[in-house]
Amino acid sequence: DIVMTQGALPNPVPSGESASITCQSSKSLLYSDGKTYLNWYLQRPGQSPQLLIYWMSTRASGVSDRFSGSGSGTDFTLKISRVEAEDVGVYYCQQFLEFPLTFGSGTKLEIK
């Protein structure tokens, strides 16, 4: 199984500052079609998760351009620029390269 390991944030993050969340996979998520099958989701308090980023760096429809994804085949970063109160929640990375599909354990973002 592909293990997804997420880093922690130095909470709370001051409003207006940037925050970077790391995620590492135990196997390269780069597929032969050139796409990297790493997705990011945000779960706000009391809500269902929502898609933020897919294919490592493509923003989902309606997602603020303050969110950006980057990385290599095994090391990934979700950067949130100018954090706002609405960014509070838990962020999950997830691989869709192969079954069983796996998620990271989540990274909590708090705002000061």
Partner 1 sequence: EVQLVESGGGLVQPGRSLKLSCVASGFTFNNYWMTWIRQAPGKGLEWVASITNTGGSTYYPDSVKGRFTISRDNAKSTLYLQMNSLRSEDTATYYCTRVHNSGYYFDYWGQGVMVTVSS
101 lines the binding site for partner 1 (CB under 8 A): yes
Q: Virtual CA dihedral for 105, 107, 108, 112, nearest 10 degrees? A: 170
CB of 103 to partner 1, least distance (A): 4
39 lines the binding site for partner 1 (CB under 8 A): yes
67 lines the binding site for partner 1 (CB under 8 A): no
88 lines the binding site for partner 1 (CB under 8 A): no
26 lines the binding site for partner 1 (CB under 8 A): no
Phi and psi dihedrals of 99, rounded to 5? -85, 145
For residue 43, what is the DSSP state? E
Strand partners, 31: none
For the chain, how long is the longest CA-to-CA vector? Answer: 43
73 lines the binding site for partner 1 (CB under 8 A): no
Candidates 71, 83, 92, 109; binder of partner 1 (CB under 8 A) is 92
72 lines the binding site for partner 1 (CB under 8 A): no
Instruction: Quickly count helices (H) and strands (E) in the chain.
Output: 0, 10
CB of 105 to partner 1, least distance (A): 5
Whole-number Å distance between alpha carbons of 10 and 96: 28
Q: Which residues bind partner 1 (CB under 8 A)?
A: 37, 39, 41, 43, 48-51, 54-55, 60, 90, 92, 94, 96, 99-106
